Structure 1
Amino acid sequence: MDPRTSAQDVMRCDLCETAVVQMHCDTCLVNLCTACVGKHMISDESKDHKVVKFQARKSTPLYPECKSHNKDRCEMYCNQCDIPVCLTCLASKQHLGHELSKILQVVGEKKDIIIKEKNELNETIYPTYQDIVSDVQNRMSQLEKEYGDLSTAITKHGEDWHREIDKLLMKLKAEVDEMKNTQLQTLQKHLDEISKKMSDIKDEINSMETVTDTNDLSKLFSVTSNVHTYRNLPHKIMPSLPKFIPGKTHGEELSKMFGALSSSSLTSDKHGYSMKTPQKSPEAGSSPPVKQLLDEPETVTNIDTGYFKLYNVACLSDEEIWTSGTGSTMKLFSINQGSRLKSIRTKSGNMPSNIAVTKSGDLVYTDYNGRTVNIVKNEKIEEVIRLQNWEPKGVCSTSSGDLLVIMDSDDNTQSKVVRYSGSTEKKSIQFDDKGKPLYSPSSFCLRYVTENKNQDICVSDDVANAVVVVNQSGKLRFRYTGHTPAPKNQSFSPQGITTDSQSHIPTADSNNDCVHIIDQDGQFLCYIDCGLSYPLGLCTDANDNLFVAQLRNKQVKKIRYLL
């Protein structure tokens, strides 16, 4: 596991790699045990090592080295020369008469600027690009429809003509297709450029977040903002459709009699888009309130499901949950009463691999044997997706109404997450930036996927014993491989995965009979250990109550873990 992409807590000494960490060098950013402190101090006597307790790490400012006087640290800043300076610089009178500031003051001002620009990227620029993408996609869809109408008009007009004009008919339709393809290609190129900028903006946001949390001032000064380049919004491309002008059926040259197409065009209006103004959600009115983790999670209720083995749970509301397990029946239970309200049998009679509930309250389930994803509307089952050579396993419904499906190839050599809008595949996520697989294929029928509030895609990879989190575009953000010591000192075995209003990522650990709570960046927060019995499926309701499907006792446990 590469520690740079692993988010689990490093609790071992960086020198001996065996003893528990107790100290930290703020100068070198190295974790140490007490026995290795002396060895580290003499490893490089040219440095002024600031060794503090591990809990107080990053408390000492790491001043940048002077570019003119090696090994000297700069604690002042020359406003006239716009550079950090050390005491030797000041003594040499190079900055005599110049206005000086304490470097920590300058750092504070620079952090404020970075935070302000990061907020602008997050709240204004990136949402504007999202709107632009939606606008271009809508124009492309409308273009497809109108060009289809155009082709239909030509076909109907051609029905009045004799067989000898078929070649002319085909020629004109080919011209329509050529015009359409030219305009669509132009719009697609425009869309790709916008999507690339959006990815760059997200990368810059992540970079800024990393820098503002560090105490390495050199890294802070190395940040170069590109916000000004993103303020210049892309031009709006406006396709102009040709018109079909029917000709008379007698008395003129054949091609003129049948009709001709006017020319098409694409215009670019650089003033077509305006920057999105940040607005509060009419439903929420503000950001979700900050909730703290309870010191001791509380079991609210247990619901007996009657399955031989219980695998999955999905919240329909604060009062009802869907469940699935062995057999082909999915059951709806009242949370407060613990009684069964409804049962739905899968269309094929196969056991559902996973279940989810859409924003509109419809039940979705995967049939890995039948290779289908299905939706239940008014107790009628509709097949939404049918796969070839792939088995759908985990499924979740996203904030946009799309479906995320994790699937394995029939030969169990590949695994990927695919985003669907209805039955249309929008994006496939399978490899990292180096072309290596993000997910391990599994022969087990149960797999779990969810979308976080920040639109990260979270997958529990039980083969690799890791939670794999990528951003919306599919770029790897981190892998979480567990935390030690675990309640039962067993290896991390991630199963069900869900999220809450705080963007926490609860993950069931079947080996240790507990649930791990990590934050949106993969940092371990706590365990939930409430006498669970082989936890598998997870979900949360609107009030951040956690529901755990337990394999062994066939119960769904409702747990309160946030204040």
Structure 2
Amino acid sequence: MSEPSDEQAAMQHHLVCGTEDCQKNGQFYCNACHRPLCEQCRDEHLKSPKTKAHEIVLYRHRKQQLPVKKCELHPTRNVDMFCRECQIPLCSKCSTMTEHHTHTFDDLEEIYAEKYAAWQGEFSKIQKYFLPTSLGLKTDIEEDATKIKKIMESIRTSMKAEAESLKNLVDEVTSENIKHTHTMEKSLLEMLKSQGTTYDDYMAYLENMSDEFQKYLSITNQKLLFSKTLKIQVIPETTKPVLPVFNAGRFNKDDIIKLLGRVNVPNTKPEKRKIQPMEAVTTHMKSTEKQLEQSKEKSDMKQTLSLSSSVTKVREYSVPGVGNAFHVSVDKSGRLWISDSQGNLVQTDLQGNLLQKIQTSGGNGYHTATQDGDLIYIDKHKKVIYRITPDKKITEFIKTGDWTPLSVHSSRINGDLLVGMIIIGESKVTRYSKAGKEIQNIQRDNQGQYLYRQPHYITENINGDICTSYFGNRAVVVVNKSGQHRFSYTGQGSGFYPYGICTDVLGHILVCYDSFIGSAVHLLDQDGGFLSVILSPQGITFPRGVCVDDENNLYVGQYKTNTVTVYKYLQ
């Protein structure tokens, strides 16, 4: 995993105000003093005559501080200026030297901030364009390899079938030829037998003639003189049989190839893989960034929000039609979708009245509400993702092929669908566009190790991070938008079994879990730092499903009851 940035490091253990003895959340930043400030200290900072002219911004909009470097000519001074004419950095005392008397100077920190922003922009291109695009191309190659294997196996099967067919034809023709030889042999033998009979009859005739001749030869010559001369019949003629000849087939290997066919690669110029131009991606990025900015602006409007010292129960109601509340989704109208462990999925209004109910294949985090007001849910047995529109029409949306879908989340940033899926021995997270086109697969970390084991619940944070949980993995796994592993949260003690997970408008991660000492809901910052326990074992039993609505209400569903409880934890 890559080294955390300064911002990540600063937020890893919660941003603390830089004012001495103040431990409040440092959500603002003084660019002059280079330190975080809470809201109260910011106000005091702006009132003080010494610091009222300082530029104070939100922490994430802060100016990067110039790295400290001592001047070689004046070791007690820091390099903080840049001479335009000499094109060198120097300290303020150097600027008073004769050789710089008429020169123009720039604030080195301003230059550093501009350079930092430029490099940050290039880094952003790598993260948002080059890496995802390369990953997409690699995925295309892997898919082509799988396709090639399937095609070649199909060709081999066809070849075997063709060969078997030819063998059957050869056997059939050979059998007919052999049968024909038996017929020919029988006919020829019968003809020869008939000829033999002819000569048998003729030889019998000759025997009779011999007897007659002997009779005449044994009498007196006088009688022989007056008898009729006996004539011998000519020898009957017969024909020799025309001997059959086997005309061997004239064929060679090429003839067999012509009969059976041959595999060839078409003489076609290979088509180049389509690389989406950065301009198009940049446009999409700008659109996404605009949505992020709107989300940030919405967050800015709520900068006064902070963790409450206590969690307040807003309302509680029993959900009809379900045995428990395993997963909860809130649509844009504020209506709830709740599912239980038996596959019942119901929609209720804000008062808990049943609006519709459908039977599904069940699961854990298998449904999500979209920004368009639809509900997306999974049928893990059919390996299909369905869409329910506000008019209650159910349509087949995406088929996941050989992969079994487990969890789904509709992005509030751009409407993409994030789907956790499994196949024998493997797990992954797949990103689909709003139109249902597969655009990204996340499966391994930078070291080639598998990231997931059956991601049962999935959500997305305001910074684009993808967060998954699975009680069998005993960890919350978080990757950035490009699919690079950022951190894994394994709880604050032994026996951490995470279930439902969601995020809020401030980028907090909320995860409910069971452990050996009870159940609770933990609150983390967006970099995985533990902040607090929202609901303790005394406040809730077997929490499973969690979600936060647009009013920052926390909905919690439980395993042992069909009750959904709503809390306020921000103030």
Write the mapping of 1:61-80 to structure 2, written as runs, cut at 5 A: 64=68, 75-77=78-80, 79-80=82-83
Match of 1:521 among 508, 522, 527: 527
1:532 partnered with 2:540: yes
**Structure 1 contact 508–514 (Cα < 8 Å) conserved:** yes
Q: Per-residue deviation at 1:482?
A: 4.7
Taking the aligned partners of 2:379 and 2:116, their CA distance within structure 1 comes to 46
SS in 1 for 2:503: coil
**Structure 2 contact 509–524 (Cα < 8 Å) conserved:** yes
Match of 1:495 among 479, 496, 499: 499
Taking the aligned partners of 1:324 and 1:95, their CA distance within structure 2 comes to 76
Q: Per-residue deviation at 1:466?
A: 2.9
Q: Which residue of the partner structure matches residue 552 of structure 2?
A: 544
Q: Which residue of the partner structure matches residue 372 of structure 1?
A: 384
Taking the aligned partners of 1:561 and 1:451, their CA distance within structure 2 comes to 20
Distance 1:96 1:465, change over 3 A: farther
Taking the aligned partners of 1:276 and 1:326, their CA distance within structure 2 comes to 39
Match of 1:405 among 411, 416, 419: 419
Q: Which residue of the partner structure matches residue 37 of structure 2?
A: none
Q: Which residue of the partner structure matches residue 482 of structure 2?
A: 473
Q: Which residue of the partner structure matches residue 333 of structure 1?
A: 348
Q: Which residue of the partner structure matches residue 323 of structure 1?
A: 338
Q: Per-residue deviation at 1:382?
A: 2.2
Gaps in structure 1 of 5+ consecutive residues: 12-60, 134-174, 203-274
1:420 partnered with 2:432: yes
Match of 2:458 among 449, 464, 467: 449
Write the deviation string for residues 115-160 of structure 1: whole angstroms up to 9, x where unpaired. Answer: 765898899x999989xx9xxxxxxxxxxxxxxxxxxxxxxxxxxx
Q: Per-residue deviation at 1:415?
A: 0.9
Write the deviation string for residues 59-107 of structure 1: whole angstroms up to 9, x where unpaired. Answer: xx997466979xx7863446446667799x98xx99775579xxxx956
Q: Per-residue deviation at 1:542?
A: 1.4
- Letter aligned with residue 78 of structure 2: E
Write the deviation string for residues 462-517 of structure 1: whole angstroms up to 9, x where unpaired. Answer: 444332222322223x214256xx4xx54433221222222322222233522222
Match of 1:363 among 359, 366, 375: 375
Q: Per-residue deviation at 1:325?
A: 0.7
Q: Per-residue deviation at 1:540?
A: 1.4
Taking the aligned partners of 1:78 and 1:116, their CA distance within structure 2 comes to 19
TM-score if structure 1 supplies the norm length? 0.54
Write the mapping of 1:154-169 to structure 2, written as runs, cut at 5 A: none
Q: Per-residue deviation at 1:353?
A: 5.7
SS in 2 for 1:375: strand
Taking the aligned partners of 1:455 and 1:317, their CA distance within structure 2 comes to 20
Q: Which residue of the partner structure matches residue 509 of structure 1?
A: 513
Taking the aligned partners of 1:480 and 1:73, their CA distance within structure 2 comes to 44
Distance 1:432 1:84, change over 3 A: same
Distance 1:542 1:278, change over 3 A: closer
Q: Which has the larger radius of gyration?
A: 2
**Structure 1 contact 514–527 (Cα < 8 Å) conserved:** yes
Distance 1:519 1:277, change over 3 A: closer
SS in 2 for 1:299: strand
Write the deviation string for residues 30-85 of structure 1: whole angstroms up to 9, x where unpaired. Answer: xxxxxxxxxxxxxxxxxxxxxxxxxxxxxxx997466979xx78634464466677
Q: Per-residue deviation at 1:277?
A: 13
Distance 1:506 1:96, change over 3 A: farther
Q: Which residue of the partner structure matches residue 228 of structure 1?
A: none
Taking the aligned partners of 1:462 and 1:345, their CA distance within structure 2 comes to 25
TM-score if structure 2 supplies the norm length? 0.53
Q: Which residue of the partner structure matches residue 395 of structure 1?
A: 408
Taking the aligned partners of 2:287 and 2:545, their CA distance within structure 1 comes to 39
Q: Per-residue deviation at 1:383?
A: 2.4
Taking the aligned partners of 1:277 and 1:556, their CA distance within structure 2 comes to 33
Taking the aligned partners of 1:394 and 1:284, their CA distance within structure 2 comes to 24
Provide the aligned C-alpha RMSD in A: 5.0
Taking the aligned partners of 1:276 and 1:402, their CA distance within structure 2 comes to 13
Q: Which residue of the partner structure matches residue 314 of structure 1?
A: 329
Q: Per-residue deviation at 1:533?
A: 1.4
Write the deviation string for residues 323-364 of structure 1: whole angstroms up to 9, x where unpaired. Answer: 0012232111223x2332321223xx6567621112222222
**Structure 1 contact 74–85 (Cα < 8 Å) conserved:** no
SS in 2 for 1:437: coil
Taking the aligned partners of 1:122 and 1:543, their CA distance within structure 2 comes to 35
Taking the aligned partners of 1:115 and 1:303, their CA distance within structure 2 comes to 52
Taking the aligned partners of 1:73 and 1:465, their CA distance within structure 2 comes to 53
Q: Which residue of the partner structure matches residue 219 of structure 2?
A: none
SS in 2 for 1:472: coil
Counting helix residues as a fraction of each chain, which structure ranks higher?
A: 2
Taking the aligned partners of 2:449 and 2:420, their CA distance within structure 1 comes to 17
Write the deviation string for residues 256-311 of structure 1: whole angstroms up to 9, x where unpaired. Answer: xxxxxxxxxxxxxxxxxxx9999799988944313422222211112223643431
SS in 2 for 1:359: coil
Gaps in structure 2 of 5+ consecutive residues: 15-64, 134-265
Distance 1:325 1:84, change over 3 A: same
- Letter aligned with residue 557 of structure 2: A
Taking the aligned partners of 1:313 and 1:457, their CA distance within structure 2 comes to 18
**Structure 1 contact 78–99 (Cα < 8 Å) conserved:** no
Q: Which residue of the partner structure matches residue 238 of structure 1?
A: none
Q: Per-residue deviation at 1:402?
A: 2.8
Distance 1:4 1:497, change over 3 A: same
- Letter aligned with residue 296 of structure 1: S
Taking only the aligned residue pairs, the percentage that are identical comes to 27
Write the deviation string for residues 495-554 of structure 1: whole angstroms up to 9, x where unpaired. Answer: 212222223222222335222222333333332126121222221111121111111233
SS in 1 for 2:381: coil
Q: Per-residue deviation at 1:433?
A: 2.7
